Structure 1
């Protein structure tokens, strides 16, 4: 039976570098940022925070192991496709859940990130939840807020999928998903030209720009799509910069993150009419690319972001 299992696994991952893993042996210890987290069994009442982490768990087929999700409807609109996937799963909080909310739902696992549902010194942290019997797994990209780490890469997302696979004993699903993502990105990169446009990601903000430095996943997306991130020397994740920096570095393309009450069209209008930005090449030539929030944050839709960015960067 084991031989048949392995044959099926390798067939499912034909052409990929990953193979099927053996079943999880509990207790299992997983590295989460700079902590070791031990699981005596697979979680049965998990909660994911934010749309990207919720999508990861649902794509891995973990809906039956979840008590609900949080942090989606209060910040962003949900597509009909995502709404269908979420059907039957309760949203425990439209923005941030409280400790009491998690306890009342008998939660035993919280998948969130720093600046994605948790903040240093806040009410919801591994330090506050672990003593209450709630194991916390931190989004890898977000670890930059609590420890020194290298520039963001797609490996951050793969790491989260692999760890979720181990925690919930669905390694084969995680491996297959990662292989599919890698194959799609490889296809995009086969046709990338040598020329790299200078790219700036604009999240929000008027007095100063909310954007991402090299520790945020947008940096990895821009680079993977054949762009030159103008903030690749900024040792920060999601951060704010002055408009003078944007003008000095003169991006040829601006990527707008679409979410919240301010629409992508309104953000573009602000950029186009901002007197301080009129010398910027991207503004002069109206070169804007819009990607939704779920694609601009670590998750399985990063592949779609890379495809969209590559098409936009290198359009003739």
Structure 2
């Protein structure tokens, strides 16, 4: 009886040792073994690593405290890990940490033509997996969808050999999303504007940024859906002209959500905007508005916020 059991164990071991290839933007990346010294950039990408139970495969994270703060949930998850760089890491930081894997994205730790890219890190044995949402910065991709976030979790699961965990998480997210949006539909989509930052000109989400998928799942439409970018700066004039009925405030950085709301409510140029007239503001934390595990929670908040906004608009 011992020989068949040993044979099965050897077979399972060989299967785990097989190379894994995943699609990362416009590249195929092959991993002969799971990474053991990973680095993630930004709070949302780091949280994807944590929900998959990969903290023990990481040597640190980058790009959080320079712009954002960690809430209690995240602080506990990364308590044993160092922040290697407050903002975008340099190549020297990643090499110095002995990293063998960098989970980042375009404008999420890497810049097109910058010093940290998949090509510049390859000679040092550091493989890169790129955030799906960010792929629009280097080529064409379909409009953003909740599937973009699911895709990243499933690919990370394959890369690190925790595929079953990833599949269970995604199945749970899909089921919860179906549950919270069960009553959505049957009415015209509510018009929504995403206000990230900026007073002279606002920084907002276009058709390739995750908030567009969150808004649509919750029964709304992004008034900047025709903006062929992910996150970008626009003028206030088209925002006013499209008269959003709800404004989503992305909460992070030195300017608080309350200050952003106060700015919009005190500016005469926005006085006629339906969202401002009816005080229809919904606040999402940065980690909810960018691709990651908290996207489902964000949709829940938006479903409630949109429902309350509709009541005010009717009355």
With normalisation by structure 1, the TM-score equals 0.91
Aligned counterparts of 1:297 and 1:131: Cα–Cα separation in 2: 30
Aligned-pair distance for 1:66?
A: 0.4
Which residue in 1 is equivalent to 2:109?
117
Aligned-pair distance for 1:24?
A: 4.7
Question: Is 1:159–2:151 an aligned residue pair?
Answer: yes
Which residue in 2 is equivalent to 1:82?
74
1:187 alignment partner, one of 166, 179, 196 = 179
Q: Is the 8 A contact 2:55 2:77 kept in 1?
A: no
Pairing 1:100-111 to 2, within 5 Å after superposition: 100-111=92-103
Number of residues paired by the alignment? 295
Q: Which consecutive residues of structure 2, in runs of 5 or more, have no partner in the other structure?
A: 1-13
Which residue in 2 is equivalent to 1:130?
122
Which residue in 2 is equivalent to 1:310?
303
Aligned-pair distance for 1:132?
A: 1.4
Aligned counterparts of 1:26 and 1:233: Cα–Cα separation in 2: 43
Deviations 1:29-63 (A, max 9, x none): 21100011111110000000000000000110001
Pairing 1:206-225 to 2, within 5 Å after superposition: 206-225=199-218
1:49 alignment partner, one of 41, 46, 52 = 41
Q: RMSD across aligned C-alpha pairs, in angstroms? A: 1.2
Q: Is the 8 A contact 1:58 1:85 kept in 2?
A: yes
Q: Is the 8 A contact 2:106 2:131 kept in 1?
A: yes
Deviations 1:153-181 (A, max 9, x none): 01000110010000000001000100110
Aligned counterparts of 2:19 and 2:221: Cα–Cα separation in 1: 44
Which residue in 2 is equivalent to 1:246?
239
2:62 alignment partner, one of 32, 52, 70 = 70
Question: Is 1:148–2:143 an aligned residue pair?
Answer: no
SS at 1:68 equivalent: strand
| Runs of at least 4 residues off by over 6 Å | none
Which residue in 2 is equivalent to 1:234?
227
Q: 1:24 to 1:212 in 2, by over 3 A?
A: farther
Aligned counterparts of 2:147 and 2:156: Cα–Cα separation in 1: 14
Which residue in 1 is equivalent to 2:3?
none
Aligned counterparts of 1:90 and 1:36: Cα–Cα separation in 2: 30
1:26 alignment partner, one of 18, 39, 42 = 18
Larger radius of gyration: 2
SS at 1:190 equivalent: coil
